[in-house]
Amino acid sequence: MKIDESLPLEYSTEENRLKILGFWIFLGAEIALFSTLFAVYFTLENRFGTGPSAQEIFHMPPVMIETILLLTSSFTIGLGIHAMRLGLKKAMMTFFVITLMLGLGFLGVEIYEFVTYVNEGATIQTSAFLSALMTLLGTHGLHVTFGLFWGTAILLQVRKRGLTPETANKSFIFSLYWHFLDVVWIFIFSFVYLKGLMVL
């Protein structure tokens, strides 16, 4: 395998470069996926039938906590990749662990939020609005959950094998994924929660 020393480790082989481009294109498909879910949500957001409306069920405090946790995690994974480029394995792993912990925290609060909704009688079967809301949030939440397992697998590999072109490539791609989930959350925060609480 030819290793190009002039490039960062994650880009250093032909295979690595192909994988990063492939992942960017995959993220393009993910954008199409979430766009469709947003379109479904916007179509159905005011169709709550006999169930509660957005204004009646949205509470800001847990959403704010989720937002802060996830945005911070996006920052810490950026620090992790920076450390990786400097070749600091230990610092990189620390930042990745912090990222995953923040992701876990986000997921915990989101589950709490879902349980609250269900306890208030707002289930996924109640109305089209709630079906769309919970599917959009749930899809994002499942992505975060998958990311937690994926990130852990990569951390184990970095710990065992060190920073090689392969592990660096995997970590970098994972960071792209994680930033993407953050971007999706920003849209959810703005166009689901803030818009839902707006009094027109």
Partner 1 sequence: MKWDEFFVFTGDPMLFAAMISIIVGAISIVVGLTYFKKWAYLWREWLTTVDHKKIGVMYILVALIMLFRGGVDALLMRGQTAMPENGLLNAQHYNEIFTTHGVIMILFMAMPFIIGLMNVIIPLQIGARDVAFPRLNSVSFWLFAAGAGLFNISFIIGGSPDAGWSAYFPLASLEFSPTVGNNYYALSLQIAGLGTLMTGINFVVTILKMRAPGMTWMKMPMFTWSVLITNVIIVFAFPVLTVALALMTMDRQFGTKFFAMQDGGMDMLWANLFWVWGHPEVYIVILPAFGIFSEIISTFARKNLYGYKSMVVSMVAISLLSFVVWAHHFYTMGHGVMVNSIFSISTMAIAVPTGVKIFNWLLTLHKGKISFTTPMLYSLAFIPIFTIGGVTGVMLAMASADYQYHNTMFLVAHFHYVLIPGTVFAVIAGFHFWFPKVFGFRLNEKLGKLGFWFITISFNVAFFPLFILGLNGMTRRMYTYSESTGYGPLNMLSFIGAVGLGIGFIILVYNIYWSIRYSPRDEDGDPWDARSLEWATHSPVPVYNFARVPKINELDAFWFAKKNNRMLSDDPYEPIHMPSNSGMPFLMSGAFFAAGFCAVFSWWIPAIIFTIAIFVFMALRSFEQDHGYYISVEEIERTERELGGDKK
Q: Provide the token pair at 197.
A: 């609480």
State which of positions 65-94 bind partner 1 (CB under 8 A).
none
Q: Which of 160, 180, 193, 170 is nearest to 73 (CA)?
A: 180
18 binds partner 1 (CB under 8 A): yes
How many C-beta atoms surround the C-beta of residue 190 within 10 A? 10
Q: Which residue stretch of 41-49, 55-63, 77-85, 176-184 sits at the interface with partner 1 (rule: CB under 8 A)?
A: 41-49
Distance separating alpha carbons of residues 15 and 49, to the nearest angstrom: 52
According to DSSP, residue 155 is labeled: H
Residue for token digits 């065992």?
Answer: 160
Distance separating alpha carbons of residues 171 and 85, to the nearest angstrom: 11
Q: Provide the token pair at 81.
A: 């990749």
- Shortest distance in whole angstroms from residue 95 CB to partner 1: 20
Q: Which is nearer to partner 1, 150 or 191 (CB)?
A: 150
Q: Which residue stretch of 85-93, 97-105, 152-160, 177-185 sits at the interface with partner 1 (rule: CB under 8 A)?
A: 152-160
- Shortest distance in whole angstroms from residue 170 CB to partner 1: 8
Contact with partner 1 (CB under 8 A): which of 8, 11, 47, 189?
Answer: 47
**Count of residues near partner 1 by CB under 8 A:** 41
- Shortest distance in whole angstroms from residue 61 CB to partner 1: 27
Q: Which is nearer to partner 1, 42 or 112 (CB)?
A: 42
Question: What is the chain's alpha carbon radius of gyration, rounded to the nearest angstrom?
Answer: 19
Contact with partner 1 (CB under 8 A): which of 5, 29, 61, 199?
Answer: 29
How far is residue 180 from each of residues 85, 89, 143, 172, measured CA to CA in Å?
A: 20, 24, 10, 12
Contact with partner 1 (CB under 8 A): which of 48, 96, 106, 117?
Answer: 48
